[in-house]
Amino acid sequence: MYLPPALLLLLSAQVAPAAYAFAPHRSLADATERFHRFAKRHSARFARDLRVVFQGLAVDQAESDPNASHRVYCVRPDDLSAGFGSNTTSTSPATSSATGSASASGTSSGAAPTATSPWKLVESHSGKNFFDGFSFWDLADPTNGAVDYQSQEDAESGGLIEINDDGNAVLKVDTTSTISGNRKSVRITTENTFTGGIFVLDAVHMPQGCGSWPAFWSNGPDWPTFGEIDIIEGVNDYTNNQATLHTASGCQIASNSTAQSLGISSTLIGGTNCAALETSNQGCGMRSDSNTTYGSGFNSIGGGVYAMVWDDDEIAVYFFPQGSIPQDLTAEVPLPETWGTPMARWPATNCDLDTFFKNHSIIINTTLCGDWAGSVWTASGIPGQETSCAQRTGYSTCEDFVHNSGASFGKAYWEISSLKVYQTTRQS
Ligand SMILES: *[C@@H]1O[C@H](CO)[C@@H](O)[C@H](O)[C@H]1NC(C)=O
Ligand SMILES: *[C@@H]1O[C@H](CO)[C@@H](O)[C@H](O)[C@H]1NC(C)=O
Ligand SMILES: *[C@@H]1O[C@H](CO)[C@@H](O)[C@H](O)[C@H]1NC(C)=O
Ligand SMILES: *[C@@H]1O[C@H](CO)[C@@H](O)[C@H](O)[C@H]1NC(C)=O
Ligand SMILES: *[C@@H]1O[C@H](CO)[C@@H](O)[C@H](O)[C@H]1NC(C)=O
Ligand SMILES: *[C@@H]1O[C@H](CO)[C@@H](O)[C@H](O)[C@H]1NC(C)=O
């Protein structure tokens, strides 16, 4: 979950804030290529499903062609671009249905393409039942944060969690001005576990500001044996998200990997060895080149959707700013092959995902200070945190700030529209 401070300083110096303009469908050639590979692995039934999505804009002679089932289903880039955001919507509902142990009410958007996807909604949290199916962690923070995690009852009565007027779930940090111990916060974990899937968080706000260390992540039992996937994570005033894997020994990305060879829109930071216990738990991290992907940057654009895809071939993290969310995702029929360049990607080539990742719970928490946020309190030159938190706040330590500046945590809250999980077949 964190990088040793010395390493972080070193790395932050080399990460120049790059002018990467985020465009989810930036590389149509890349999308098409991945789409093609995916189609090749799937049956004619899937090809038919894809054709429905693109409503005839793509190759559509398959049905009448007796040789269709031998043909690799593929579309040209211009067909692909026409397929989305144009005339593909209809009023019929999506045909995806909850097949697993959905623990809360799912919501479908009104206008949806008539489409199916091999990925089916298996769990959905939104609206007034958002917190159903989550458990609340109320023990000490294992990463030494200055937080006092609350039970569900205490979080409710203390006003730290609520469903607001927009129907979004809000998870706050206590803002009592002065406290002597740890500050109250919330950490929620899904009761169900998942092996493989697409985990999708739609949020309009996330915690920001000095002292905060929020995360949307997942992990398996007996850490790090069954892996940890950090989808959204950062600290303090950072504006660029970092996604990281932490695993048992034997999981790597190729040591000569580059952003280009991985096909990602971020910068590799830390190592290529993902083994937690061999790397002082630094893991293999990728930091977004976009400053609207985390903290105040994310909030400045009204947030967006993070989607983590975990299949046999790779683990990948995508970010879609509010307003650029793929229609298939909104319609709950995700087709990740059409999503373009991911923010982060770990191919299975040097890491057998079936071995290193199993039975993940999904976790959302906000800790304060602790191993990461506390240790970079005096660091500067990181995107979003050009000057240090010590300078910005006037407090020489993170803990002092947490104890004495409650109002500063007014923006350290999550506001979440939904958390959804898709799988091809339910696997816990
Ligand atoms: C189907 O495949 C056969 C054998 O490859 C070929 O002779 C035939 O012309 C094909 N039919 C069509 C409609 O493409
Ligand atoms: C597609 O959308 C455009 C713009 O909204 C509209 O002018 C056109 O008639 C539509 N075409 C079809 C086939 O629905
Ligand atoms: C809370 O989040 C931090 C940051 O991701 C993580 O390292 C820590 O383990 C979490 N704490 C708990 C109790 O989940
Ligand atoms: C990385 O190394 C492997 C094996 O030595 C090689 O096949 C591959 O082409 C290299 N990739 C890059 C991006 O240099
Ligand atoms: C992101 O970086 C650009 C270029 O440096 C800057 O103009 C902009 O204000 C930054 N946005 C945020 C939200 O930090
Ligand atoms: C993972 O989940 C499966 C299915 O519930 C269960 O049989 C298995 O024991 C779990 N593995 C671990 C390591 O918890």
Convert the pLDDT of each residue in 317-337 to its tens digit.
999 999 999 999 999 999 999
Q: Which ligand sits nearest to residue 146's alpha carbon? A: 3
- 99 within a domain of the structure (yes/no): yes
Distance separating alpha carbons of residues 271 and 282, to the nearest angstrom:
8
Consecutive H or E run containing 392:
helix 389-393
Q: Between these two residues, 10 and 114, which has the higher pLDDT value?
A: 114
- 348 within a domain of the structure (yes/no): yes
28 and 116 assigned to the same domain: no
- 160 within a domain of the structure (yes/no): yes
Distance separating alpha carbons of residues 50 and 255, to the nearest angstrom:
36
pLDDT at position 88, please? 31
- 402 within a domain of the structure (yes/no): yes
Q: Does 159 contact ligand 3 (Cβ within 6 A)?
A: no
Task: Look up the CATH number of the domain holding residue 271.
Answer: 2.60.120.200
Q: Is the pLDDT of residue 105 over 70?
A: no
CB 93 within 8 A of CB 112: yes
Confidence of residue 250 (pLDDT cuts 50, 70, 90): very high
> What is the total count of domains within the chain?
2
158 and 60 assigned to the same domain: no
236 and 309 assigned to the same domain: yes
- 42 within a domain of the structure (yes/no): yes
Ligand 4, atom 12, residue with closest C-alpha? 256
Q: Does 213 contact ligand 3 (Cβ within 6 A)?
A: yes
288 and 337 assigned to the same domain: yes
- For 338-388, give the secondary structure using H, E and C: HCCCCCEEEEHHHCCHHHHCCCEEEEEEEEECHHHHCCCCCCCCECCECCC
Q: Which ligand sits nearest to residue 297's alpha carbon? A: 5
151 and 287 assigned to the same domain: yes
18 and 112 assigned to the same domain: no
- 336 within a domain of the structure (yes/no): yes
CB 75 within 8 A of CB 59: yes
60 and 93 assigned to the same domain: no
Q: Is the pLDDT of residue 290 over 50?
A: yes
Query: Rounded to the nearest 10 degrees, how much is the dihedral formed by the CA atoms of 122, 128, 132, 135?
Result: 120
- 83 within a domain of the structure (yes/no): no
Q: Using most ligand atoms within 8 A of CB, pick from 87, 88, 89, 114 the residue to mutate for ligand 2.
A: 87
Q: Which residues are marked as active site?
A: 228, 233
Distance separating alpha carbons of residues 183 and 260, to the nearest angstrom:
42
Residue 68 CB neighbours (<10 A): 15
275-286: average pLDDT? 95
Pocket of ligand 4 (CB under 6 A): 254, 256, 261
54 and 193 assigned to the same domain: no
Q: What is the mean pLDDT of the chain?
A: 80
25 and 137 assigned to the same domain: no
Q: Which atom of ligand 5 is closest in space to residue 297's alpha carbon?
A: 13
Full domain range(s) for residue 31: 5-64
pLDDT at position 86, please? 31
pLDDT at position 83, please? 30
- 80 within a domain of the structure (yes/no): no
114 and 218 assigned to the same domain: yes
With a pLDDT cut of 90, the percent of the chain lying above it is 69
pLDDT at position 312, please? 96
Could you tell me the maximum CA-CA distance found in the chain, to the nearest angstrom?
A: 75
Q: Between these two residues, 94 and 272, which has the higher pLDDT value?
A: 272
CB proximity list for 249: less than 8 A, separation 6 or greater = 275, 277, 278
pLDDT at position 165, please? 98
Confidence of residue 92 (pLDDT cuts 50, 70, 90): very low
CB 416 within 8 A of CB 130: yes
Q: Beta strands 183-185 and 147-149: pairing type?
A: parallel
Consecutive H or E run containing 81:
helix 77-83
148 and 283 assigned to the same domain: yes
Ligand 3 centroid to 8 CA: how many Å? 18
pLDDT at position 114, please? 57
160 and 33 assigned to the same domain: no
Q: Beta strands 161-163 and 169-171: pairing type?
A: antiparallel
